[in-house]
Structure 1
Amino acid sequence: MRAYLPIWSRVIAACVALLLLTPGLARAQAFQSAAPYALLLDSASGAVLYEKAADELMVPASMVKLATALVAFQEIAAGKMTLETEISISENAWRKGGGVSGGSTMFAIVNSRVKLGDILQGLIVQSGNDAAIALAEAVAGDEASFARVMTERVHALGLPKSQFRNATGLADPQQKVTARELALLADHIIKTYPELYKIFGQRDFTWNKIKQSNRNPLLTMDIGADGLKTGNIDETGYGLVGSAVQKGQRLIVVVNGLKNARDRASEARKLLEWGFRSFEQKQVFAEGESVGEASVFGGEKGRVALKAKGAVNLLVPRGSSERLAARIVYRGPLQAPVAEGTEVGRLLVTRGEVKTLDIPLYAAESVAVGSLQQRALDALMEAATGWVRKALKRS
């Protein structure tokens, strides 16, 4: 089985040269977050603008409700539930998550039936544990089974480190996430369910004649924030997943492990303001422009051009002379035939140790199977390459 091979093209070399900004300009303002865990993500490009312990496991607290909401959104998208579907408030949901529990609650009445649209508002706006448990029971029968569904659904999105044990975020030593996976989960929700995502920006919600404000402090800061979720457990501190849009640019921030709600709000705001202020967008490939090439085995042509879907833009520090490195990686050579539009590789761009771009690349044209003579020549070339690799390993 062949390893992923980095392939450099003249176009990629030009990309790197383009991104070497004029030397001597001041670097973008350095930033250090006081949060033990932090990540700042540009939604459009996938560029990570700042990270700190972003891949270390941490306790999510009520930020776990992003995954709880995800499952509900998926059920709605699949036609299994609607916003009008009625959810029963069991005694279990009421005792563990209702007003008698002492935790965050939407104050749903025991043995009542509540429409899913209201349950989602109670879950997201009020962080209601009763809403979370009732939803879990409606989808999977019990909360433990629902937690397994949550874990499976998030893993299916390519977020393998997250492990969920309940729908509420209440303390459990086996319930862990990372800042990076929380940011990517938030990004997925925003892009995949834009109408349902609007609930995260709702300022308040009234249920059982009790009006409660959204716990997300970013929503009142006039910085373009429109979501997502806070969380805190005394033993591990205060956290927040937030998102804001300014001039068409969306940033997603994650902080966790802070001492109090004030520090949580301050650090999240600082990260967002720094991101909007300190980076500028550079287009490196226009829509439809060839990004590079990949080798093709047994085809009528030995190489195929690659392109992204849409233009390729990067966020780079304003006034920075820091070098960006770009490469195309794919499992190759590709086996003919190759159909136009087939995903065949990825474009990776890094700034030092930080990955600033990771997007799929697609075949820009079709490559049919070549003649018998061409296939035989490719086979000889591949065999020779294999011999060289083996010799290098032995040396």
Structure 2
Amino acid sequence: MQRARYLPTLLVMLALALVTVLPLPALAFETTAPTALLVDFSTDRVLYEKNADERIAPASLAKLMTLAVIFDALREGTVQRDDRFTVSEKSWREGGAESGGSTMFLPLNSEVTLDDLIKGIVIQSGNDATIVVAEGLAGSVAAFAKKMNAEAKKIGLTNSHFTNPHGLPDPEQYVTARDMVRLAAYLIREFPDEYPLFAEESFTFNGIKQQNRNPLLRVGADGLKTGHTAKAGFGLVASAERDGRRIVLAMSGMQSADERARETRRLMEYGLQEFEEVVLIKIGEAVGEIAVRDGDAETVPLIADSELRLLVPRGSLADVTRTILDNGPVAAPVAKGQRLGWIRFSRGDETVQEVSLHAAQQVARTSFLRRIGQTIANQLTWRSAKEP
């Protein structure tokens, strides 16, 4: 028969005082941005969303996909950082100083290392740099766009399509906030050696120093990219880490750089301040014990073989308890790692989470003579207790 053993209520409530599974308040946060998405990096839990699957023009946020293609090529060894690419007339005219857009100011017909081009894309958001890379890696912008879409499919972007490497307006080019967050998380996770480049605040090339356009770098973020065109408005994809927790966010369609800076900072602070990750069970932590019959030990500790974490609103209090359920006492022998029950976290009649529990160590079966001795001892104890 299944047996439930409740841990001391005071201890449980102290340990789990910050745990909750209550849904987030519908109006816990609001923004003027037409589209937005905020996700916890490690759990992939959505903390806030607004029109996150609506198709939007990417503007320079498309450069994140360009960088994904470049980083993947570097990882595969098909290109090296010191490879040099030529600045074509197309890249010079369409992305250079005369174009009126963000530029790296690459001289016509000059040769530039891929390393410098990457910095020019990440830090200076150079449109000319993206065209040079596209032509150098794929032969043309159109051919490179095919690489971008193939990379997007590999990453799992389900509602985006790319036609150029810089994000300048094209009616057939679109992304969503959800896809941009997924892309940013991919870059952070897959290219940890490359990611710190997004936190660089400036880059000087050809005697011209330009500042990183990400307004959140000065207030705690460590990447990724801003974007702006007349059609797309002002947008941003960013990530920040605090106290071991990382968030990723995307916002688009704002009317000014000031609004972008204000709203993205508000969303970043909301994600970092209003939530925390609580460890309910650690790997190998003894959470209870179970009685053993005919063993060389009377009990065996119960442990979980996996860690249980929950992301919850900071400071929230909920009536959450944990209960150990088992079929004890169990007969010896008991093998180390043998499943002996589970621990259940619940709120009232609702189960929040369950985790299997296993024997922390083996318990051997006692000898026949020792079992007889234990039986006699138990009988004597029982009779003694019954005597007046």
TM value normalised by structure 1: 0.68
> Which residue does 1:138 correspond to in 2?
136
Aligned mates of 1:285, 1:80 — CA distance in 2: 45
Shift of 1:235: 2.1
Output the CA distance in 1 between the equivalents of 2:218 and 2:201: 8
C-alpha distance in 1 between matches for 2:125 and 2:315: 42
1:227 offset after TM fit, Å? 0.5
Alignment of 1:207-226 (within 5 A): 207-221=205-219, 224-226=220-222
Encode CA deviations 1:334-378: one digit per residue, 9 max, x unaligned. xxxxxxxxxxxxxxxxxxxxxxxxxxxxxx9xxxxxxxxxxxxxx
Residue 309 of structure 2 corresponds to 313
Write the mapping of 1:166-181 to structure 2, written as runs, cut at 5 A: 166-181=164-179
C-alpha distance after superposition, 1:4-44 (max 9, x if no partner): xxxxxx9xxxxxxx7995799x9798111111100111111
Contact map agreement 1:28 1:279 (CA 8 A) in 2: no
What residue number does 1:229 align with?
A: 225
CA contact (8 A) 1:47 1:314 kept: no
**Matches of 2:319 and 2:268, distance apart in 1:** 24
What is the identity, as a one-letter code, of the residue corresponding to 2:105?
A: F
Aligned partner (choices 116, 122, 136) of residue 124 of structure 1:
122
Q: Alignment partner for residue 256 of structure 2, among 235, 260, 263?
A: 260
Pick from 110, 113, 117: which aligns with 2:111?
113
CA distance, structure 2, for counterparts of residue 159 and residue 22 of structure 1:
31
**1:57 and 1:64 mapped to 2: Cα distance?**
13
**How far apart are the structure 2 equivalents of 1:69 and 1:134?**
13
Query: Is the 1:41–1:48 contact (alpha carbons within 8 Å) kept by the matching residues of 2?
Result: yes
Structure 1 residues 22 and 74, CA gap change in structure 2 (3 angstroms) = closer
- Displacement of 1:142 in angstroms is 0.4
Distance in 1 (alpha carbons) for counterparts of 2:53 and 2:37: 10
The residue that corresponds to 2:294 in the other structure is none
Cα 1:312–1:45 change in 2 (3 A) is farther
Root mean square deviation of aligned Cα: 2.8
Partner of 2:354: none
Matched with 2:277 is 281
1:246 pairs with one of 237, 242, 255: 242
Q: Does 1:194 align with 2:192?
A: yes
Amino acid at match of 1:126: Q
**Contact 2:18 2:278 (8 Å CA) reproduced:** no
Is the CA contact (8 Å cut-off) linking 1:65 and 1:132 kept in structure 2? Answer: yes
- Asked whether the 8 Å contact 1:143–1:167 carries over to 2, the reply is yes
d(CA) in 1 for partners of 2:111 and 2:46? 43
Shift of 1:104: 0.6
Aligned to 2:97: 99
Give the AA of the match of 1:64. Answer: A
Match of 2:37 among 39, 48, 61: 39
CA distance in 2, matches of 1:68, 1:22: 40
**Where does residue 295 of structure 2 map in the other structure?**
none
Normalization by structure 2: what TM-score?
0.69
**CA distance in structure 1 between the partners assigned to 2:120 and 2:254 by the alignment:** 25
Kindly tell me: are residues 126 and 322 of structure 1, through their superposed partners in 2, closer, same or farther at Cα, counting changes over 3 Å? farther
Distance 2:103 2:312 in 1: 42
Q: How far is 1:246 from its partner? A: 1.0
CA contact (8 A) 1:27 1:318 kept: no
SS of match in other structure, 2:235: strand
Q: Give the superposition deviation at 1:201.
A: 0.7
Aligned to 1:162: 160
Q: How does 1:43-62 map to 2 (within 5 A)?
A: 43-62=41-60
Give the Cα separation in 1 of the matches to 2:140 and 2:120: 19
Specify the SS of the correspondent of 1:194. coil
**2-side partners of 1:28 and 1:138: how far apart?**
49
Letter in 2 for 1:44: S
Give the distance between the partners of 1:262 and 1:76, measured in 2 at CA. 36
Amino acid at match of 1:141: G
| Structure 2, unpaired ranges of 5+ | 5-15, 286-303, 321-357, 359-388
- 1:205 aligned to 200, 203, 206, which one? 203
Deviation for aligned residue 1:288: 8.1
Q: Is the aligned partner of 1:75 residue 2:73? A: yes
| CA shift for structure 1 position 283 | 2.8
Q: Is the 8 A contact 2:200 2:212 kept in 1?
A: yes
Q: Percent identity at matched positions?
A: 45
C-alpha displacement of 1:272:
0.8
Whole-angstrom CA distance in 1 between matches of 2:93 and 2:245 = 43
Distance 1:273 1:281 in 2: 16
User: Structure 2 CA distance, aligned partners of 1:51 and 1:23?
Assistant: 18
Asked whether the equivalents of residues 20 and 313 of structure 2 are also in contact (C-alpha less than 8 Å), the reply is: no
Say if 1:102 and 1:23 are closer, same or farther in 2 by CA, change over 3 A.
Answer: closer
1:388 is matched with: none
Aligned to 1:334: none
Contact 2:235 2:260 in 1 (8 A): yes
State the match for 1:149 in structure 2: 147
Query: Which stretches of structure 1, 4 residues or more, deviate above 3 A after TM superposition?
Result: 18-24, 26-29, 284-289, 319-324
- For the pair shown, which has the larger CA radius of gyration, 1 or 2? 2
Rounded to whole Å, the distance in 1 between the matches of 2:140 and 2:45 is 38
1:306-339 Cα shifts (integer Å, max 9, x gaps) = x99x634231113447899xxxxxxxxxxxxxxx
CA contact (8 A) 1:28 1:319 kept: no
